[in-house]
Structure 1
Amino acid sequence: MTPDAFLARIGDGRVIWVAVDLHGRLVGFAELGQDGHIDCFYCHPARQGIGRALFLLLEAWAKAHGIRKLSVEASEGARPFFLRMGFSCGERREICRGGEMLHNWAMAKPLLLQAPAAPALS
């Protein structure tokens, strides 16, 4: 991806979370589109808990901004993580990237938006 393409990508309204360790090294990141689609989600495999922490931030932001459903095309390796986070697994999809056939899973999670608190009666 060229620098211009990357800048256009991050300027399209998506929200990006980045996790770094105490030395400033990247250990994870997540990207969420305004439509609730998780476009990228990565965690260093040796950093337990980073994925869950990133997902909880992403989910809380989505709920706070009125997003009613999260969706993702999960790789075979990521599918168990998203199942643990409450996603349902839909169809297996075949895709071609760089001349290679790959597959992923269409997954979704409806979000329950919290109703505003009722005013206290006095």
Structure 2
Amino acid sequence: MPELQDVLQKHKGKLPRFQPAGREVDIFAIPYRDKVRETARQKRLLQEQEAGGKNAKQLQAEQKKAEKERKLQERRQKAMEKGRNPDKKRGRNARIVDEWDDLAKEERLYKKLRKGKITKEDLEKELNEE
């Protein structure tokens, strides 16, 4: 947008009254503009705090954050088991090679299943270990 470009050039990349919000923003403290909706929200928040403390949206947000953290730790652990450094950024070619290796392992397991050397449960177990 041209008008923003003018402002940025005028202040040489620094906006005069800009305050960064930080990582944690309490979205539940932002009021509605509509007075009726805001009073209803305040009543609901008061009831939820009396009932048990945190409201349902906050609990869902915390659960989602915990699940994301758990998945990240699980992914890091799998990478470390494979002998990789999870903090190191992997190149595109290395990721492609890894995917091909995983596909080849899956194909070998499926071939064993067709020949009757392993059961379907064994196949599922091996695939879920990845």
- Smaller-chain TM-score bracket: under 0.3
Q: Which has the higher strand share?
A: 1
Higher gyration radius (CA): 2
TM-score, scaled to structure 2: 0.19
Q: Which has the higher helix share?
A: 2
Structure possessing the higher relative contact order (Cα contacts under 8 Å, 6 or more residues apart): 1
TM-score, scaled to structure 1: 0.20
